Amino acid sequence: MIRPWVAIQRNPRSGSGKRRRFLFDLASALKRHDLRPHIFSQREILAERLKDPERRAALVAIVAAGGDGTLTDIANRFPGVPACPFPLGTENLLAKYLEIPLNGEAAARIIAAGNVRKFDVGQAGEGTKFLIMGSVGFDAEVIRRLHDSRRGNISHLSYVSPICRSVMSYSFPRLTVKADELPEPIEGSLVIVSNFPAYAFKLPVNPDAEPDDGLLTVRVFEKSGRWNFAKYSTLVTRRRHLERPDVRVFNTSSVSIETKATAPVQIDGDPFGTTPITFSCLPAQMELFVPAS
């Protein structure tokens, strides 16, 4: 019989260098809780290992040792397996929301306790899942430029050049937003669709989003152009965008965004092509480990 074990999916970019010691701390802590750790650097090897029904049945959790993108990757490849973020990335939005620290013993204790909670999952297009948020517009353009130039680990400073280049060249195409909850389509220049109330740089874009209500929170910034984008950015940092008539918000199970000229799309900090795009909510689709209340 195979003993209970934990798969640690390591992002090669995030879980390397000085951060590697955190992985060893986690593995040692899991052993102390009678859970066998296995660290995987290659996604294909973990997928092959889980084709064995006996190994799959003995699997307690998959640890996403990286950033938010690592956890999103696990959600797409291994549906139905409880997961736990281990924050080795840049933003680590979900780990912060779930209050899971970069501490091997603490993470191992949470997994060993077996306390999981079901959360909604977002879906972009025909079947690609996302956990935190998706967007269409300027911030997706920044993400596209960042990933096109990425050569290794990124930090908050890595965003400076893509932001500056996007400000100078992005054309702010008009977006048409459609949902059953809307009496008529909304026109805007930036659309942010949230499952969790988290966003990069701790910006409170959709602070009222609930990740377990079966709905997505959609915020539409209506006005276009560099000047309006700069104004919106300032308003968001001060939470003054929440009551503005030109910043619309609604909750929905599905929203579609169309454009005459294509606009970039991103999900959970990774590029996801261009418009048109439909975002939908899959209620209670993923179990995540959380600290005991």
Q: Do domains 5-114 and 128-283 have the same CATH topology?
A: no
Rounded to whole angstroms, the Cα distance separating 124 from 155 reads 26
Q: Is pLDDT of 15 > 60?
A: no
Q: What's the confidence (pLDDT) of residue 163?
A: 80
Q: What's the confidence (pLDDT) of residue 165?
A: 86
Using alpha carbons, select from 112, 86, 100 the residue that is nearest to residue 14: 86
CATH entry 3.30.350.10 includes domain 5-114: no
Least confident of 153-162, 193-202, 225-234, 275-284: 153-162
What CATH number labels 128-283? 2.60.200.40
CA 76 from centre of chain: 12
**Better-predicted residue by pLDDT, 20 or 140:** 140
Structure tokens at 27: 């593995």
Q: Which pTM does this prediction carry?
A: 0.92
Mean pLDDT of the chain: 93
Q: Do 52 and 7 form a contact (C-beta atoms < 8 A)?
A: no
Other CB atoms within 10 Å distance of the CB of residue 112:
19
pLDDT band at 29, cuts 50/70/90? very high
Q: Tens of pLDDT along 232-264?
A: 999 999 999 999 999 999 999 999 999 999 999
For 132, phi and psi rounded to 5 degrees? -95, -60
Q: What's the confidence (pLDDT) of residue 159?
A: 78
Q: Tens of pLDDT along 140-182?
A: 999 999 887 766 666 667 777 878 888 889 999 999 999 999 9
For 176, phi and psi rounded to 5 degrees? -110, 120
Every domain of the chain and the residues it spans: 5-114, 128-283
The predicted model gives 251-280 an average pLDDT of 96
For 179, phi and psi rounded to 5 degrees? -160, 155
Structure tokens at 138: 């300027």
Percent of the chain residues topping a pLDDT of 70? 95
